[in-house]
Structure 1
């Protein structure tokens, strides 16, 4: 191991390595994976001089502590949180120099759920099917980080960004998800479609990287029975037997047997990464199949 490495001192609730994921392998049963808040991940990579696809750390709720073995540039974005170097407060959402051996602490999110830690050179764990992303469903990629894990880092290829202010979207106070109805909306009653599109749901605490689960009124089925297993796309709104919609996210299964009532527009999905439990959710139909 060279000195281009990052030692994990405190892994936090759930910290994983993520990049842009491994799309194109659904026919093999391999989920897409990748950073849930892709724009936030791309921004912190840009701040430290990495290409958009460089691997970084995705933390959940209470951050992590890491110690670089060589001097690196670091940027923390996504969910706003306190950031310190050897106990001294430093900027969130901007490039920060972290000396070799110093302790970088990414604290608990003030709002939102997932923070992103970009390090100059990127995390260079061994790729699997072209991606370094951790996939919680299939187990592909590196396992979730634990205390004592040591991650290799690449060599920086560009200088860090030199900016005074960088705009960052705020975590959503209300999650508005624009959807296209179908392909199985005919499995539900007219009343169920009206319920989906007029009632406010809330983000469930059972949500994770696989799917955003909701709490609210159940959707009534028009057809009984089960579907043969069929392909699931990113953003599919699947309705399990309890009738509460589930929005499939990056680590979602590639097939499923419950009907998909609608599909969320891809541009609305990054906000789901930062929606805390209890956040209101509204489904807005912008297109019918």
Structure 2
């Protein structure tokens, strides 16, 4: 049972912060997508660092700018995009176990690389689940509202396991993202589908939890060979959908479950997390998988 002092107090929020777990699978037949953390690996790591099961809910933070205060001893960890973190103004390590005492605050600055950071808390963020998940689906509006200053987030009971490491070694995020993708299912709708894998693309400013729109940097344009309309069909996480503009959109965590534009390829599941960290202006190259 959560006690009155087992909570996180939100003192500052940057561009966007939402509660996320690993999503709500099993509701496609009702028109509800999985949602969940855009960078699933980063959330899993945050939970492992604080001794939680990997699916516990944490906080997904866009670009940084979040400040949390605790009312009792609380174990936290920050993973994903390496936003500079500080406890009461003292810099602390990224992807490390942080022990905060009563009335101490964790603050995240703006991340210089990557897009989304994750705050894990021992016991998990214990908001009321909706359809079996505590995730906010920004497209459908299902789940807890985005965080605002003054919010109080309950913390669940601490698990019996304990963190066994203090710091997780992580590679730096590359300047150019090499994203593996599987051609199809509608690559035959294009005059030359291999153009997706030629040259490079740039992430546009049109990026959110639903998807990331790309514009051509170098290489040939994507041109439709079939001009007719495509009946609406199901689309998967990581689907690369190409609207008439020829600027592909890579679907992310809150993507629609159906779409009416041809999907030229699907990002390999192992690279979806990396794609979720792509910032506007970053270069992306697709590699045939």
TM-score by length of 1: 0.94
1:204 maps to 204
Once residues 12 and 202 of structure 2 are traced to their aligned partners in structure 1, the CA distance between those partners, rounded to angstroms, is 31
Residues 63 and 115 in structure 1, CA contact (< 8 A), matched pair in contact too: no
* 1:270 lines up with 2:273 in the alignment: yes
2:35 maps to 33
Residues 86 and 107 in structure 2, CA contact (< 8 A), matched pair in contact too: yes
* 1:81 lines up with 2:83 in the alignment: yes
Moved more, 89-98 or 126-135: 89-98
SS in 1 for 2:41: helix
Q: Which runs of 5+ in 1 are unaligned?
A: none
Once residues 158 and 89 of structure 1 are traced to their aligned partners in structure 2, the CA distance between those partners, rounded to angstroms, is 29
Residues 97 and 167 in structure 2, CA contact (< 8 A), matched pair in contact too: no
Once residues 157 and 78 of structure 2 are traced to their aligned partners in structure 1, the CA distance between those partners, rounded to angstroms, is 19
Moved more, 30-39 or 155-164: 155-164
Once residues 133 and 168 of structure 1 are traced to their aligned partners in structure 2, the CA distance between those partners, rounded to angstroms, is 25
Once residues 90 and 259 of structure 1 are traced to their aligned partners in structure 2, the CA distance between those partners, rounded to angstroms, is 46
* 1:258 lines up with 2:271 in the alignment: no
Moved more, 32-41 or 216-225: 216-225
Using the TM superposition, give the Cα deviation of residue 91 of structure 1 relative to its aligned residue in structure 2, in angstroms: 2.2
Using the TM superposition, give the Cα deviation of residue 80 of structure 1 relative to its aligned residue in structure 2, in angstroms: 1.0
1:92 maps to 94
Using the TM superposition, give the Cα deviation of residue 170 of structure 1 relative to its aligned residue in structure 2, in angstroms: 2.4
1:229 to 229, 232, 241: 232
Using the TM superposition, give the Cα deviation of residue 164 of structure 1 relative to its aligned residue in structure 2, in angstroms: 4.8
Using the TM superposition, give the Cα deviation of residue 259 of structure 1 relative to its aligned residue in structure 2, in angstroms: 0.7
> C-alpha offsets along residues 121-175 of structure 1, whole Å, 9 cap, x if unaligned?
1001011111100110010110111111111110111354242542223223212
Once residues 123 and 267 of structure 2 are traced to their aligned partners in structure 1, the CA distance between those partners, rounded to angstroms, is 34
Using the TM superposition, give the Cα deviation of residue 194 of structure 1 relative to its aligned residue in structure 2, in angstroms: 3.0
Using the TM superposition, give the Cα deviation of residue 218 of structure 1 relative to its aligned residue in structure 2, in angstroms: 3.9
2:215 maps to 215
SS in 2 for 1:109: coil
What are the equivalent positions in structure 2 for 1:1-289 lying under 5 Å apart? 2-190=4-192, 193-216=193-216, 218-286=221-289
Residues 49 and 166 in structure 2, CA contact (< 8 A), matched pair in contact too: no
SS in 2 for 1:205: strand
Once residues 25 and 52 of structure 1 are traced to their aligned partners in structure 2, the CA distance between those partners, rounded to angstroms, is 21
Residues 171 and 275 in structure 1, CA contact (< 8 A), matched pair in contact too: no
**Structure 1 residues 113, 93: closer, same or farther in 2, change over 3 A?**
same
Residues 46 and 160 in structure 1, CA contact (< 8 A), matched pair in contact too: no
Equivalenced residues, count: 284
What RMSD over aligned residues (CA atoms) do the two structures have, in Å? 1.4
Once residues 221 and 214 of structure 1 are traced to their aligned partners in structure 2, the CA distance between those partners, rounded to angstroms, is 17
Once residues 24 and 221 of structure 2 are traced to their aligned partners in structure 1, the CA distance between those partners, rounded to angstroms, is 34
TM-score by length of 2: 0.94
Once residues 78 and 197 of structure 1 are traced to their aligned partners in structure 2, the CA distance between those partners, rounded to angstroms, is 27
Residues 49 and 160 in structure 1, CA contact (< 8 A), matched pair in contact too: yes
Once residues 94 and 74 of structure 2 are traced to their aligned partners in structure 1, the CA distance between those partners, rounded to angstroms, is 16
